[in-house]
Chain A
Amino acid sequence: MAKYLLKRLFYLLLTLFIVITITFFLMKLLPGTPLNNQAKLSKSQIAVIYQQYGLDKPVWQQYLSYLGNILHGNFGTSFQFSDQPVSYLISSRIGASLQLGFQAIIVGVPIGTLIGAIGAVKKNTWVDTTTTIISILGISIPSFVLAVLFQYFFGVKLHWFPIANWGSFIFTVLPTLALAVSPLAESARFMRTEMVDVMNSDYIELAKAKGLTKIGIIYHHALRNSLIPLLTVVGPLAVGIMTGSMVVENIFSIPGIGELFVKSVLTNDYPTIMGLTIVYSVMLMVVLLITDIIYSLVDPRIRLTDKG
């Protein structure tokens, strides 16, 4: 296990290094500058500003110093926010995004699991059909469409929740719901398939033959054995939430990193784009690693090996 973990960590760092390198050189292909009023500046003024951002040096020197700075947690200075370190920009905004992401998972996955399980147990009845429709709608309708509709009906029309902005818990309800729909639908769909499989397996037949009650079978055998594979979709769910948050945060005016990312893209704030790309990658890799570890702990059939 320890050896496996070390190896995984090594690959994680290697991957990170490659991600940083590729992102860095991609960004260098772009014409972005910290200048906001280029048309009114003289050449010498532009040179001075470039120098301040270290953009006057050869690209490989910029690359080396960027790598060195990252080791110290320094992602450079934002073009958009003058003098603001990118690391500070991200750290002060990541909280809102993490909170929304976790809430969406906490709301979406259990409900989805439940819906999927009910669908599987009541297979081929109207209950199953209803739950299937819910999950297919959830998977198919883009979260930004849902976000607009939620905002309009629950915020503007019904006044149940604030329309936008960030504050107490009540402000998080609508964005959380908009984000939760996709994990809910994905886990419902996955759960149903898994559980149908499990319900058809020999040991369930055996349990039935032994005369266990239906509830007992579902709870002790079917549900438990279906939950473990659910871990394998956590990675894709996390990606879905990161993706969704970029639009949902914009619609609800939430000061998170999704909104920051979109804004940086639209204003060519390359240091911030690079920093966020790295942060997103680290988050995803950590989620995948943790899932794998938990998976090996809960499922005795799986042993983590060097093959990983």
Chain B
Amino acid sequence: MTNQTNQPTEAELTTNLPTDNNEPAAYQPVATDFQVISADEKKHLDDEKISAPSLTFTQDAWRRLKKNKSAMVSMVILLIFFVLAFGSGIFETHNPNAQNPAVTNLPAKVPGVPIPGLNGTIMQGGIRVDAYKQAGVKPGTFYLMGTDQFGRDLFSRVLYGTRISLTIALVATFFDLTIGIAYGIISGWKGGRIDNFMQRIIEIIMSIPNLVVIILLILVLKPGMVSIILAIAITSWVSMARLVRAETMQLKNQEFILAARSLGESPIKIALKHLLPNLSSVIIINTMFTIPSAIFFEALLSYIGIGISAPQASLGTLLNDGQKNFQFLSYQMWFPAIVLSILMICFNLFGDGLRDAFDPKSKE
């Protein structure tokens, strides 16, 4: 980011100052608060010098991001989700695909939580009964989110499903990034007829609703994880390409690029060394919005029956299964729905926070 030409704006400088409402109550100074400085020390004091450390663009953005509470909370929650979902086997309390006919459709039971809905009881004919006792489960057995119709542990399945959903989203986003950035840079850099042609292609893709394209591709590729990833990646790079192109067109006429060109650097080197670092904020922000939309599409596809297929699970298939029994076993839909919604909310909030942090102009 060393080439970053953004100057801190006035707005930004203001926001960096501690605001009044953060100040403690009026303070009465006492003598010990002050001390006499030596002449030696005084030599280093330069009234003209700015004593705050100079920050790189990234550091600056990070500093701003840290101030955004909702973004930070989202980030922490996302990290927790990632660790839980990908630390498979460690957190999964049971094998997510192991069927156990003895313990089907048990409600959630969390050790030490007496709240109805989480204590292993269900309403049966108007009376609250202990479903675990009824099923003859050994005391001390806990299914944190209950079990499904095949006696599979829902908590483990939700973790497993989250892992599949996140994997699909991340891999799809990775391809989306690669295609989108390359396309955008080439289009923006070359300009002229090539650019015009490449933009036409984008317009064509954008004139078909992306879900329709995704569904068509999945039909051709046969449903499954790989085809979902490909289908999402193939349709979602367009917005990335457009943003990158616009930014590239601006950048390519700036002095440092002109300098690099006149020094005879190859276009690929310029793209990697100079363009990419300057595009990073646009890319990061857009990525944060691509991931939740990929999660959403995966859930939607699995929900309508052409996504991940049994016995594999994703949040979408879990929702679909749970929804069938929503009336009497509502927890089977609630848990995946809540996890899916939290993931989406956190990605969106974190994305918002990143955008604000990287783009001081959009600061409130």
Contact of B90 with A by CB under 8 A: no
Per-position binary interface string of chain B over residues 207-248, scored 1 when its CB falls under 8 Å from any chain A CB and 0 otherwise: 111111001110110000000000000000000000000000
Q: Which chain A residue shows the least CB distance to B201?
A: A18
Contact of A277 with B by CB under 8 A: yes
Contact of B313 with A by CB under 8 A: no
Q: Which of A86-94, A139-147, A173-181 contacts B (4 or more CB under 8 A)?
A: A139-147
Interface of A is mostly: helix
Q: Which of A62-70, A95-103, A213-221, A278-286 contacts B (4 or more CB under 8 A)?
A: A278-286
A window 142-156: CB within 8 A of B: 142, 144-145, 148, 152, 156
Docked pose: A136 CA to B303 CA in angstroms: 22
* A side interface size, CB within 8 A: 42
Contact B341 A285 (CB under 8 A): no
Q: Which chain A residue shows the least CB distance to B215?
A: A265
Q: Which of B112-120, B278-286, B342-350 contacts A (4 or more CB under 8 A)?
A: B342-350
Contact B340 A142 (CB under 8 A): yes
Contact A247 B364 (CB under 8 A): no
When distances are taken between beta carbons in the complex, the residues of chain B under 8 Å from A19 are 204, 207-208
B window 328-364: CB within 8 A of A: 333, 337, 340-341, 344-345, 347-349, 352, 362, 364
Contact of A291 with B by CB under 8 A: no
Contact of B82 with A by CB under 8 A: no
Contact of B305 with A by CB under 8 A: yes
Q: Which of B128-136, B258-266, B292-300 contacts A (4 or more CB under 8 A)?
A: B292-300
When distances are taken between beta carbons in the complex, the residues of chain B under 8 Å from A156 are 327
Contact A280 B349 (CB under 8 A): no
Per-position binary interface string of chain A over residues 111-139, scored 1 when its CB falls under 8 Å from any chain B CB and 0 otherwise: 00000000000011000000000001101
Contact A193 B362 (CB under 8 A): yes
When distances are taken between beta carbons in the complex, the residues of chain B under 8 Å from A231 are none
Most chain B CB neighbours (cut-off 10 Å) among A144, A156, A281: A144
Contact B300 A242 (CB under 8 A): no
B332 to chain A, nearest CB (A): 12
A window 263-281: CB within 8 A of B: 265-266, 268, 273, 276-277, 280-281
B65 to chain A, nearest CB (A): 17
B158 to chain A, nearest CB (A): 15
Contact of B326 with A by CB under 8 A: yes
Contact of B182 with A by CB under 8 A: no
> A148 with B323: in contact, given A15-B203, A124-B364 (CB under 8 Å)?
yes
Contact B220 A29 (CB under 8 A): yes
* Chain B residues within CB distance 8 Å of chain A: 200, 203-204, 207-212, 215-217, 219-220, 292, 296, 299-300, 303-306, 319, 323, 326-327, 333, 337, 340-341, 344-345, 347-349, 352, 362, 364
Residue pairs across A and B with Cβ atoms less than 8 A apart, 15 shown, are: A18-B204, A23-B216, A26-B216, A136-B348, A140-B341, A142-B299, A156-B327, A239-B210, A242-B211, A243-B210, A246-B300, A273-B216, A281-B212, A284-B208, A285-B207
